[in-house]
Homo-oligomer: A and B are copies of this chain.
Amino acid sequence: MDIHEYQAKELFTEAGIPVPPGEVATTADEAEDIARRLGGRVVVKAQVHAGGRGKAGGVKLADSPEAAREYASAILGMEIKELIVKKVLVTPVEDIVSEAYVGVLIDRANQAPLFMVSPEGGVDIEQVAETNPDAIRKQSVDPRYGLLPHQAYALADFLYDDPKLVRQATKIVGQLYDAFTKNSCSLAEINPLIVTPQGEVKAIDAKVSIDENAFYRLPRVEAYRDLDAEPESESRAREAELSYVKLDGNVGCCVNGAGLAMATMDLVKYYGGEPANFLDIGGSSNPDKVVAALQIITADPSVKAILFNIFGGITRCDDVANGIVEATRRIDIKTPIVIRLTGTNEAEALEILGEAGFSAHTSMDEVVQKAVQIAAQA
């Protein structure tokens, strides 16, 4: 889960990383007050889970509290990459001598954290990697040893020549690694890490992603979740413990298993349709989940046909059938439903559905074609 810049900065500050002060405002009034407290010259930064905030006009330098108010007023409510800005971070303007990049992420191939640093900060690191790969130094971290002192030093030494800056950066690299492990991050980035005219090294922007699987031990971080930052349907799906991703098509998909769900979406596309969502009801046999899934799918007005594709293994087909019947009792579903069920307890499922007036298929290929056809005709 991505967290906001101001939240990431909280985690960094806790780890000891020097981060300039700053406060979050949800109104222009608040922004003005904060700017006044911080001495007048501030940056007003949109807090949304999207890159390119600056280009979109979501980051503004204000010379006075009044200007801060004005910018905050403009930025709050702005839409950046389909996300509405509901909060701004107000933070003092820093004079900048140089900008560097420091980041650490999980490297799947090496099964280990990977540090990347570059003296060319303030820009997208993937861009640096393409245009000037020699300006990036990488360091894989053996999880058995953690980041070793000489590795932190060598990364810092790549960024700066002045031993005083190297010393500060060495410490920051170590602190970033601590924050990364303590908060079970999949990504933790400082970009830019600046040097001030006074020779201080500071983190000016922060980007952090957290492994949701670790939330059970990170209640504070879990509370960082911003429900405004995702479609309501996804929040509801999470509550029902469903994997759901909203898409733009008109064929609503309800599948058991992530791989089969993706393959179902692909097959919808193959036959000329567009999937309205990814939805994996998981391996559980709980009819309530099926109900919740149907509620979420039917709440999407674009959906013109609902497609069930269930391969019963652990999931019992009769449970899914019961869920479908139950859902159609609880909610008034107008959208046509086509169903494919095969595997464990298939016969019982077909009987349950038949009694409730549904017919069911056993071939995935057939049922997808039918759903696409129905959606196209709607």
Residues on A facing B (Cβ under 8 Å): 144-145
Q: How far is the CA of A144 from the CA of B142 in the complex (A)?
A: 10
Q: What residues of chain B lie closer than 8 Å to A145, measured between beta carbons?
A: 144
For the complex formed, measure the closest distance between the CB of A144 and the CB atoms of chain B, giving whole angstroms.
Answer: 4
Q: What residues of chain B lie closer than 8 Å to A144, measured between beta carbons?
A: 144-145
Closest to A144 in B: B144
For the complex formed, measure the closest distance between the CB of A332 and the CB atoms of chain B, giving whole angstroms.
Answer: 51
Q: How far is the CA of A145 from the CA of B145 in the complex (A)?
A: 8
Q: How far is the CA of A144 from the CA of B144 in the complex (A)?
A: 5
Q: How far is the CA of A178 from the CA of B144 in the complex (A)?
A: 17
Q: How far is the CA of A145 from the CA of B144 in the complex (A)?
A: 6
Closest to A145 in B: B144
Closest to A146 in B: B144
For the complex formed, measure the closest distance between the CB of A143 and the CB atoms of chain B, giving whole angstroms.
Answer: 9
For the complex formed, measure the closest distance between the CB of A265 and the CB atoms of chain B, giving whole angstroms.
Answer: 40
For the complex formed, measure the closest distance between the CB of A281 and the CB atoms of chain B, giving whole angstroms.
Answer: 32
A-B contact pairs, 2 of them (CB 8 A): A144-B144, A144-B145
For the complex formed, measure the closest distance between the CB of A152 and the CB atoms of chain B, giving whole angstroms.
Answer: 17
Q: How far is the CA of A141 from the CA of B145 in the complex (A)?
A: 14
For the complex formed, measure the closest distance between the CB of A151 and the CB atoms of chain B, giving whole angstroms.
Answer: 15
For the complex formed, measure the closest distance between the CB of A171 and the CB atoms of chain B, giving whole angstroms.
Answer: 16
Q: How far is the CA of A145 from the CA of B143 in the complex (A)?
A: 9
Q: How far is the CA of A144 from the CA of B145 in the complex (A)?
A: 6
